[in-house]
Chain A
């Protein structure tokens, strides 16, 4: 199975977040692909679409030498989102399996549908997804979201509440006419400025968001009226 470098990095970061020794999300993905290939010999690959808490992860992993043009059969599995205990009612989880032989998933779909039993939130749709979802190689945006959250953390360390930190980031983005991830990068880049070296830790990060009458800097939006 061919997982691009960008997705592999995202999956590695997510595995770290999972904090479960012995668990590797890439390995789970590979095992799922291998098990599906055993059940359906013309299996070509899969697309995964997950979202929870405003974070979205979408990627496609085809088998080596498989081409999207070969797809003649698909099985979309909408999985129950409550299995992970998430409280996000808007969470979604879908997998699309692809194969080269028309009707290849018929038996598997019947079995899986029956095995899923009374889990009425699980749904199985045959052959409606015969193309790979667009832009499978585009980075997922997880890195940008990580940057934003780290910047929020920096702003909290400077004395902001969570709401104030978000507000500060929004204002900075608007003031400097950039998007939030770029504004967040600016905040994180400030941490690496040489002027901070040699200071005690509690002296390194003045509470800029609430600092008294300092002139505007790249990380200081105008005061919110």
Chain B
């Protein structure tokens, strides 16, 4: 599962009993953190940021980590960086996903395998990404796909400033961490989608009456069709950079205010 870099020979020193014990404790702490994610919170980004922080803690040598997810929208599926444990990780994400569309996380996600490098500046896998990130003083990367039985949902990307920081042991610990993280992240996505659907439908159901009233009002004034009246509302909304429902409410309120004034006069 772990990819070994052909260009870089990593000689992992034998771990002392104390070091192994410390790493094990760090991993346990990270996993315990994972098990205590977002009590009372439903913010996916917050959850992912915590996953990134726990990964930094669980994987020996890590200086920072980020989480990316595969997201589907109208334009198709894309890899999106959603959380970072440190500002320098955000800078790397920007280079990887926005500027170059190349890097270890993209490789890990698309190939569904763990990817690592101990010398990004000279790594031939990412000839544009490696040198740029190396100039930021980041030389080691470990990217762990978030794998479910038949799907990859994203990746955890772990970085370190030193060279050859992530050895076999770190990769193994990372994979141990990534397995439950994938389930937690995916289930959080299910809940987030359910909440998104609730928010979208309730907001739309709440705003539809006044939009329809405004459509009727414009139809009554101008003889326009419903489609023409809606287009008119939308044009006003876009011109004024104000939400459609707000424009509609204003039009209806103004007409009702005038009607009340007339009513009081007579």
The stretch of B4-12, B156-164, B213-221 that contacts the partner chain: B213-221
Q: Is B25 at the interface (CB under 8 A from chain A)?
A: no
Encoded as 1 (CB less than 8 Å from any A CB) or 0, chain B from 234 to 266 comes to 000100000111000000100110111011000
Q: Nearest-CB distance from A129 to chain B (Å)? A: 15
Whether A88 pairs with B207 at a CB distance below 8 angstroms is no
Encoded as 1 (CB less than 8 Å from any B CB) or 0, chain A from 13 to 32 comes to 11111111011110111011
Whether A91 pairs with B202 at a CB distance below 8 angstroms is yes
Whether B193 pairs with A14 at a CB distance below 8 angstroms is no
Which residues of the other chain, A, contact B191 by a CB distance below 8 angstroms?
A: 112, 115-116
Whether B220 pairs with A50 at a CB distance below 8 angstroms is no
Once the chains are docked, how many angstroms separate the CA of A17 from the CA of B260?
Answer: 27
Once the chains are docked, how many angstroms separate the CA of A104 from the CA of B180?
Answer: 19
Q: Is A145 at the interface (CB under 8 A from chain B)?
A: yes
Which residues of the other chain, B, contact A28 by a CB distance below 8 angstroms?
A: 193, 196-197, 200
Q: Is B108 at the interface (CB under 8 A from chain A)?
A: no
Q: Nearest-CB distance from A157 to chain B (Å)? A: 3
Which residues of the other chain, A, contact B258 by a CB distance below 8 angstroms?
A: 159
Q: Is B127 at the interface (CB under 8 A from chain A)?
A: no
**Contacting residues of chain B (173-195) with chain A, CB-CB under 8 angstroms:** 183-184, 186-191, 193-195
- Closest A residue to B195 by beta carbon equals A83
With A19-B244, A34-B72 in contact, is A117–B206 under 8 Å at CB? no
Q: Nearest-CB distance from B198 to chain A (Å)? A: 5
Which residue of A31, A85, A119, A202 contacts B193 across the interface (Cβ within 8 Å)? A31
Which residues of the other chain, A, contact B194 by a CB distance below 8 angstroms?
A: 32, 77, 79, 95
Q: Is A3 at the interface (CB under 8 A from chain B)?
A: no
- Closest B residue to A153 by beta carbon equals B216
Interface range for B: 35 or more
Whether A39 pairs with B187 at a CB distance below 8 angstroms is yes
With A14-B204, A18-B203 in contact, is A93–B42 under 8 Å at CB? no
Q: Is B166 at the interface (CB under 8 A from chain A)?
A: no
Which residues of the other chain, B, contact A160 by a CB distance below 8 angstroms?
A: 259
Q: Nearest-CB distance from A214 to chain B (Å)? A: 17
Once the chains are docked, how many angstroms separate the CA of A27 from the CA of B41?
Answer: 24
Whether B198 pairs with A81 at a CB distance below 8 angstroms is yes
Once the chains are docked, how many angstroms separate the CA of A183 from the CA of B103?
Answer: 63
Which residues of the other chain, B, contact A158 by a CB distance below 8 angstroms?
A: 220
The stretch of A51-59, A62-70, A131-139, A171-179 that contacts the partner chain: A51-59
With A77-B194, A157-B217 in contact, is A18–B212 under 8 Å at CB? no
Once the chains are docked, how many angstroms separate the CA of A53 from the CA of B150?
Answer: 42
Q: Is A35 at the interface (CB under 8 A from chain B)?
A: yes
Once the chains are docked, how many angstroms separate the CA of A57 from the CA of B205?
Answer: 8
Q: Is A167 at the interface (CB under 8 A from chain B)?
A: no
Q: Nearest-CB distance from A84 to chain B (Å)? A: 4
Pairs A–B under 8 Å by Cβ, sample size 16:
A13-B208, A27-B73, A27-B74, A31-B193, A55-B205, A79-B198, A81-B202, A84-B203, A119-B42, A150-B216, A153-B213, A157-B219, A157-B220, A159-B258, A161-B263, A191-B219
The 3 closest A-B pairs by CB, nearest first: A153-B216, A157-B220, A149-B212
Question: 9 additional contacts, CB 8 Å, given A14-B205, A145-B209?
Answer: A18-B207, A31-B193, A34-B72, A108-B187, A108-B190, A115-B42, A156-B255, A157-B216, A164-B259
